[in-house]
Amino acid sequence: MADSSSPSLTPSAMGRVSGWLTHWGISPLAFDDTLSLISPLLTVTRLHARVIAKQSETPGATTLVLQAGSAFRGLRPGQFILFSVVIDGVRHRRAYSPRSIDGRQDRFAITVQRQPGGLMSNHLNERTQVGDIIEIDQAGGAFTLPTAAPAEVLLMAGGSGITPCMAMLEHLLRSQAPTRATLIYFARGREDRIFAQALDDMAQRWPQFNYVAIDSVANTANVPGTQTAQQVLDIALLDQAAPQWRQVPAYCCGPAPLMDAARQLWLDAGIGAQLHLEAFAPAKPSGDTHAVHTVQMERAHQTRSFSAPGDQTILIAGETAGLTLKHGCRQGICHECTCRLRSGSVRDLTSGARIDGEGQPIRLCVSAAMSDLDLESLN
């Protein structure tokens, strides 16, 4: 792979220059436009990364290796980055979980699984080429390992949910942490198992790594059943793969049925706080189609009203009504669609919890109305 290092100015130095120019009345975006004439990787307000390598992982997944600019502050294993791409004149944003390349803060890879009808995932797989420039945000998210390496950790993944887990595993191996790590990874089969060979190699050279690969679609939504029994995530599997699962930090990323199963198992065991969940697909409500609620939303001193059926997220309901609502990832990760719930009740689709009362922050993309709502936009 050819080296394509980012410009050498530090993030703090670039930030100070931007601050000085803002003080003198020069717009940060105008400053970015000027810098981008030299190199898109120099921008400090709208960050960019260059695609420096592309490779196929499975028939439906592609890895892109990216070089970020100097203003990118790096990432912690398991965090996400919001990527912005213009497709047919419309700007789309999605969150992907990067892995650091060789421990570098300015170079990382994302692996993108094609989603049926997914504009962004199919664009990145089919049309993105080496040399392309992609707009990114700083890394964020709390789906990360503790600052001090734990003695033991349990990771559970399904399909492309392996990406943040792989970032954690590579970090633990690279840093020579004493952590004992168990990975339970569900996929249709080896052909569809992202990082299949890399995980096999990791298991061979890392004595503290327990790799449990399971061919099963039982924890995947909308997949036809088979004639043979399919392994699910249950207590028997956990007791066999990670006997101490009740005492160790646990992380799960994958399809909604897998995360629902993990959430219920940990709640039933009374240890829900030890489980960390990360969704890689937008949440889908299962409420009553005929239950339609009125939503009033105040933003910038203007109030708009729209109807929200029980089987739609509030974000989709607002967009269906023709409103342009501020949002980012559509996955409950970036919090750009956060509003204050002044009155009414919603269902949080990531936790299943009902949120009542006044003043609580909710995310429109992962909330479904359970009553009429009065909201105030916080962004």
**pLDDT one-digit tens code per residue, 169-187:** 999 999 999 999 999 999 9
**pLDDT one-digit tens code per residue, 189-248:** 999 999 999 999 999 999 999 999 999 887 776 555 555 678 999 999 999 999 999 999
Percent of the chain residues topping a pLDDT of 90? 64
Q: Phi-psi region for residue 122, left (φ > 0), alpha (ψ -120 to 50) or beta? A: alpha
Cα separation, 379 vs 372, whole angstroms: 21
Average confidence score pLDDT of the chain: 87
Classify residue 227 by its DSSP letter. S
For residue 145, what are its two tokens? 């390992």
Cα separation, 365 vs 191, whole angstroms: 32
Cα separation, 146 vs 77, whole angstroms: 10
Residue 44, SS3 per DSSP: coil
**pLDDT one-digit tens code per residue, 344-379:** 999 998 878 899 977 999 999 999 999 999 999 998
If pLDDT is split at 50, 70 and 90, which confidence band does 280 have?
low
The DSSP secondary structure of 329-345, one letter per residue, reads SSSSSS-TTEEEEEES-
If pLDDT is split at 50, 70 and 90, which confidence band does 39 have?
low
- List alpha helices for the chain, DSSP H: 11-23, 28-38, 119-126, 162-174, 196-205, 235-241, 256-268, 314-320
Cβ neighbors of 144 (< 8 A, separation 6 or more) are: 76, 77, 78, 79, 168
**pLDDT one-digit tens code per residue, 148-162:** 999 999 999 999 999
What per-residue confidence (pLDDT) applies to 97? 94
Between strands 180-187 and 152-158, the pairing is: parallel
Q: For 284-291, what is the mean pLDDT?
A: 80
Q: For 51-75, what is the mean pLDDT?
A: 94
Cα separation, 120 vs 280, whole angstroms: 13
Q: For 325-332, what is the mean pLDDT?
A: 81
If pLDDT is split at 50, 70 and 90, which confidence band does 145 have?
very high
Is pLDDT above 80 for 119?
yes
Is pLDDT above 60 for 23?
yes
Q: For 68-72, what is the mean pLDDT?
A: 89
What per-residue confidence (pLDDT) applies to 2? 43
Q: For 268-295, what is the mean pLDDT?
A: 86
Q: Could you tell me which of 6, 48, 57, 75 has the C-alpha nearest to residue 191?
A: 57
Q: How far is the first Cα of the chain from the last one, in angstroms, to the nearest whole number?
A: 41
What per-residue confidence (pLDDT) applies to 327? 83
Cβ neighbors of 57 (< 8 A, separation 6 or more) are: 63, 111, 194, 195
Distances in whole angstroms, Cα of residue 355 to Cα of each of 243, 344, 348, 359: 35, 8, 7, 10
Angle at 375 between CA 372 and CA 379, to 5 degrees: 155
What per-residue confidence (pLDDT) applies to 1? 42
**Structural domains in the chain?**
11-136 (2.40.30.10), 152-279 (3.40.50.80), 292-377 (3.10.20.30)
What per-residue confidence (pLDDT) applies to 32? 60
What per-residue confidence (pLDDT) applies to 281? 66
